[in-house]
Structure 1
């Protein structure tokens, strides 16, 4: 196991594509390992899933020509905070996971349900007129 790095925050930009979302997930897991949280732990698995879902939402719903989405990962005392920011302010801010069950044949509608299930808490905020951020905190 590695000793935690001096800077408990990571920030990186990704293209709003499925590949960008995948790279965000892989980087998050790699960074957790650098902070001493092995890939095989429940924390790393939950962070990977939550990052994947939030990044996929940014790639699909937050996509804006010429703009990237940002992953910010922060190691805190009791949680790992994941933030995904995109430049698509006209999309409504999510306030809750969709109510009711998702149709089994649907390939959409599970992202925020999974985030709510694996995160201690989650939410969103509008940083300015252009950027919105969806965040989640996963217990360490």
Structure 2
């Protein structure tokens, strides 16, 4: 398992364990793979970018992570609320990793938009993490 895979698994578990988030979603509607017929609202783990963050003497990786909040509650309010809960659940979280060690996890921004068709709102929530080997 790589640090990137371990980080993704830890994010998933942290979101599932967050009571305010799961209450707002109406259950554990957090998915690594988007469901074919989802119940709204829900969260998906999205894109990830892994960059070398090594120094002359230490190895490390920078991870740029994207999570998506999906809502169909007739406006952007629910998407904003759930995006804020995702941020609260993960920002500065000290997540244990099965591989490597998490140095930090920071929320870097969010974007809320109405998807084509007009029914669905999506919040794109971005994080930056740094890991190093054990």
Structure with the higher fraction of residues in helix conformation: 1
The structure with the largest alpha-carbon Rg is: 2
TM-score (norm 2): 0.43
TM-score (norm 1): 0.41
Structure with the higher fraction of residues in strand conformation: 2
